[in-house]
Amino acid sequence: MDDERPPDASPRTPYETVMRKIAAAVLAVGLSAAALVFALAPPEATDDASGPYVAAVDNSKKYRLELERIGGKAAVLAVEFDEWFDGLWHGRRLAGTLAVLSVAAALLCFLAAKLPPLDDQ
């Protein structure tokens, strides 16, 4: 890897080397975990006509209208956000969440490797 650096660049510090190794490890473990969760997660439930349809109380138009009447548009948006956020932690969506979080954490470690280490004075 040192061959890729320009000749006038300063050599890598031990801090930078360690941070790069940590970033690579975080990325490898995170993406492996995401692939494992994706492979083991049950398929998403689909709405098909094979069985009886049971509507959830919190998914009805009446519930949404009452929620908007009592709490306004902000309450409806808060409930929709909560349902979306809760959905990120189940099944195959969890695999996507893990992949995105591991890429973000690895990117932060790579960026931290570029920062100079803090000197104790």
Residue 63, in any domain of the structure: yes
Q: Is residue 2 part of a domain?
A: no
Lowest mean pLDDT among 4-13, 46-55, 66-75, 109-118: 46-55
The boundaries of the domain holding residue 101 are 11-42+57-114
Residue 107 has pLDDT above 90, yes or no: yes
Q: What is the pLDDT of residue 18?
A: 92
29: in domain:
yes
pTM exceeds 0.75, yes or no = no
The answer for residues whose C-beta is within 8 angstroms of residue 104's C-beta and 6 or more apart is none
Residue 94 falls inside a structural domain: yes
Domain count within the chain: 1
The pLDDT assigned to 36 comes to 96
Confidence class for position 60, pLDDT limits 50, 70, 90: confident
Q: What are 14's two structure tokens?
A: 């031990």
Instruction: Assess if residue 34 is contained within a domain.
Output: yes
- Work out the average pLDDT over 41-59: 65
Residue 47 covered by a domain: no
CA distance 112 to 118: 11
Residue 5 within any structural domain of the chain: no
Within a domain: residue 83?
yes
Render pLDDT for 65-98 as a digit per residue (tens, 0 to 9).
Answer: 998 999 999 999 998 899 888 888 888 999 999 9
Give yes or no for a contact between 64 and 76, defined as CB atoms under 8 angstroms apart.
yes
